[in-house]
Amino acid sequence: MSNHNSSNFSTESLKSVLSTLVYFDIFNHPLKASEILEYAHHLPNNPEKLNEDLAFLVENKLIYSHKGYYLLNPRFENVDRRESGTLLAEKTWPKAYEQSVLISKFPYVRSVVISGSLSKGFMDQDSDIDFLIITEPGRLWITRSMLALYKKLFLFNSHKYFCVNYFIDTNNLTLPDKNIFIATELMFAIPVYNPDVHRKFLESNKWAMKYYPSKKMDIPFDPANFPLPPSSKKIAENFLSGWFGKTLDKILMKITIGFWQKKFRTMKKKQYERDMKSDAGVAKHHPNGFRDRVLQEYEIKYNQILLKLDSCKQNSPIN
């Protein structure tokens, strides 16, 4: 039983801390107190209150502390993994910036955003650099096809530093899928090229801020120092601006979607419509069902920890 006065504790506050730790625990990613403060789900927090909540949860063995990090389970090797992953992420950023500059030079690219593990400050040997590309309306499939061709011809189809699996255009900034997984990816995504477009993207998805009310928006590089688009980009866009470009975009969309439908014909219809959603303004290529696995694991782990919290309440009532 905790030595702290239980009347100081709010169930909702404790749930916020636990929800945050549960989500990142799915990725074996322990958090520092300062990170929990910033990433806390649903409720804005304050340092003094957070410290009290963490002490209560540690004393009741609902969570564990090691080297300044907090974890759901005493798998303290994940702290070492986290620290080495942070160092590798820092080393990877120059490469991510370099690739972002390259992507920005392609026709109709209006913003380049980094998502995935690097946006959370972590990389390991198996991690990719994931990009969300925001394009001009009506030319998304031209942009996607050019980047896919570049990857095949010059990168031998390697995903390591060039994982361009999600495209939207500036007329499709509002995401239809609203859950903690999408909110996390959206709120942690880092704009590298043209952050003004990314800002509109966030404004179009204000619902995600309810999951992360205290999350700060960090831009690691000064946009003013980003290279100006080359003249070849403007020339290509002028060439493809009329009927020819519009028709070509539709043809490329039809070819690509037809290929995906054949390749993933064994995928369940519901999953295909969600994870491979593709039309004139969206091209999503997430065939491995990762989102569903994360959401299912989160629900199971969170419900389990709430049962433990409820047991603590019975022994030491919490408001």
- What pLDDT does residue 158 have? 73
Per DSSP, 127 falls in state -
Do residues 141 and 252 make contact, with C-beta atoms less than 8 angstroms apart? yes
The token pair that represents 278 in the structure block? 């593709």
Percentage of the residues of the chain whose pLDDT score is greater than 90: 74
Residue 271, pLDDT > 70, answer yes
Verify that 126 and 245 share a domain, yes or no: yes
Same domain, yes or no, for 66 and 207?
Answer: no
Amino acid identity at 155: L
Q: Please indicate, yes or no, if residue 81 is contained in any of the structural domains.
A: no
Whether 280 and 301 share a structural domain: no
How many folded domains does the chain comprise?
A: 2
Number of residues assigned to the chain: 319
Backbone angles phi, psi at 228, to 5 degrees: -70, 150
In this prediction, residue 2 carries a pLDDT of: 46
**Within a domain: 134:** yes
Tell me if residue 78 falls in helix, strand or coil: helix
Residue 84 inside a domain? The answer is: no
pLDDT in tens, 154-195: 876 676 778 888 999 999 999 988 999 999 999 999 999 998
State yes or no: pLDDT of 212 exceeds 70.
yes
Residue at 1 is within a domain: no
**52, 195: one domain:** no
What's the whole-number average pLDDT of the chain?
91
180 and 55 fall within a common domain: no
Instruction: State yes or no: pLDDT of 7 exceeds 50.
Output: no
Does the pLDDT at position 282 exceed 80?
yes
Name 283's bridge partners.
167, 278
Instruction: Give residue-wise pLDDT tens across range 136-158.
Output: 999 999 999 999 999 988 876 67
Same domain, 142 and 196: yes
User: Do both 102 and 35 map to the same domain?
Assistant: no
pLDDT at residue 4 is higher than 80: no
Between CA 251 and CA 44 the distance in angstroms is 48
CA triplet 109, 139, 187: central angle to 5 degrees? 50
Q: Is residue 267 a part of any domain in this protein?
A: yes
In a domain, 83, yes or no: no
11 falls within a domain: yes
Residues 149 and 24 in one domain: no
User: What domain range includes position 23?
Assistant: 6-75+294-315
pLDDT digits (tens, 9 = 90+) for 27-64: 999 999 999 999 999 988 778 889 999 999 999 999 99
Please name the residues in contact with 69: beta carbons below 8 A apart, sequence gap of 6 or more.
30, 31, 32, 79, 82
Pair 57, 179 in one domain: no
Pick from 109, 163, 114: nearest CA to 140: 109
Answer whether residue 80 is part of any domain: no
Taking each continuous run of H as one helix and of E as one strand, the counts in the chain are 11, 9
Q: 37 with 174, same domain? A: no
* Assigned token pair, 245: 């470009």
Q: How far is CA 117 from CA 27, 138, 195, in A?
A: 9, 30, 19
Same domain, 156 and 282: yes
Q: What is the pLDDT of residue 245?
A: 96
Which residues are CB-neighbours of 25 under 8 A, at least 6 positions away? Answer: 71, 72, 73, 301
Residue 171: how many CB atoms within 10 A of its CB?
Answer: 13
Burial of 297 from C-beta contacts in 10 A (0-12 / 13-18 / 19+): middle
Shared domain check, 66 and 98: no
